[in-house]
Amino acid sequence: MSEFSAQDVVFMQIALDLAQQGQFTTTPNPSVGCVIVKAGHIVGKGFHFKAGEPHAEVMALREAGENARGATAYVTLEPCSHFGRTPPCAKGLIEAGVVKVVSAMHDPNPQVAGKGLQMLTENGIESAVGLLAEKAEWLNRGFLKRMRTGKPFVQLKMAMSLDGRTALANGESKWITNALSRADVQTERAKASAILSTSQTVIADDPLLNVRWEQLPEETQQIYPIANLRQPIRVILDSQHQVKATQCLFEIESPVWLVGKNTRDLTGYPNFCTHIQLADSTQYLHDLLFELGRRQINTLWIEAGATLAGSLIEQNLVDELIIYTAPKLLGDDARGLCKLTNLTQLSDATLWKLHSIERFGDDIKSIYHPIVTEKKC
């Protein structure tokens, strides 16, 4: 970090703020921001809005024009070096006459992975990497995990009462949390590439599992006109083929992937409905995550019942646990948060580290990350 000045930090933070504006739209691409600086002044800035559209560097260079010659580019991710849907950004920076490129981090995409910076160096452009890397990693944690492991970043969302209950004994659960918490859920859904649930949840609640953009904060709606936005893919575990074409899921014209172990006839279902067949195995959930990663799902937001939640936790498949707690008591007969079947002693319990706490009225949103511990022989 010593090689970077305070001014470098300021410009990279601006680039990160720009990158964040693509958080609802860029999937399966990463969110990237770029700032072009000359003589201490910003002459161009941009961010990547959507896959297939110009990358952040291109947008910033367009704004900078001839001022890009002799300037420094601050980019939140290593410039790409390959032809995809768009030309390589490293080549664009070279042709524009930029003399230095500062990247927050390397791109783990095998098609890039250092090649972008190498291309710059070979063309006489100074480069540096590592400025505000932790913030850049956090912004694109879903994309980065998929590139590094082949699996999406898994977020398990649960809502509970003070005594850890999710519904009354009769199944009534609307609403445990308040309107502010539910609006925040819409924001979190909007960031996800896909939402995962089960046929049991779909049958019991008949949800849309979509993003209700009108519930997002006004400032968000002003930045992102609804017409430009997307709905996350709805992924439903439905091994018994219980989800019918009449479910509310299909009222929203957005992809639905029904996952099962057997072949399925989708006659009568909308054309945006797809069946994913996975072989039955003890690694079924692992296989599902790899399949979703193969299908370019970066971040997977999960809203389901206690059984799936418990299975994901027991198999160490949750990267982030998000719990909304309401100031209510539902009692012993109410339904629990998750089913953990293999827990016989407290020392075997999964440990979690508190990442953040946020208040929504009288509700509390807590985010936890798993603590990886070595098991004793």
Chain segment 285-321, per-residue pLDDT in tens: 999 999 999 999 999 999 989 999 999 999 999 999 9
Is-catalytic flag, 78?
A: no
Amino acid at position 305, single letter: G
pLDDT of res. 375: 47
pLDDT of res. 88: 82
- Between 112 and 38, the more confident residue is 38
Separation of alpha carbons 116 and 242, rounded Å: 48
- What mean pLDDT is reported for the chain? 90
Cis peptide before 28 (omega within 30 of 0): yes
DSSP-derived 3-state class of residue 95: helix
Rounded average pLDDT over 12-17: 97
Query: Is pLDDT of 225 > 90?
Result: no
- Between 168 and 320, the more confident residue is 320
**Bridge partners of residue 277, in order along the sequence:** 260
The arrangement of strands across the sheet holding 256-260 comes to: 273-277, 256-260, 233-237, 194-198, 299-302, 153-160, 320-325, 363-370, 352-360
pLDDT of res. 376: 44
Rounded average pLDDT over 143-170: 94
Identify whether the C-beta of residue 117 lies closer than 8 Å to the C-beta of residue 25: no
66-70, 173-177, 272-276, 284-288: segment of lowest average pLDDT: 173-177
Separation of alpha carbons 76 and 136, rounded Å: 6
Rounded average pLDDT over 159-181: 88
Q: Grade residue 187 by pLDDT with cuts at 50, 70 and 90.
A: very high
State the pTM of this model: 0.91
Query: Is pLDDT of 171 > 90?
Result: no
- Between 2 and 34, the more confident residue is 34
Residue among 361, 366, 17 at smallest CA distance from 180: 361
Q: Using the 8-state DSSP alphabet, how is residue 247 labeled? A: S
Structure tokens at 215: 């519930």
Query: Is pLDDT of 168 > 60?
Result: yes
- Between 377 and 80, the more confident residue is 80
| Whole-number percent of the chain with pLDDT over 70 | 94
Burial 198-227, CB ≥16 within 10 A → b, else e: bbbbbeebeebbbbebebbeeeeeeebeee
Helices (H), 109-224: 115-122, 133-139, 141-149, 179-191, 199-205, 218-223
Catalytic option among 53, 57, 253, 303: 57
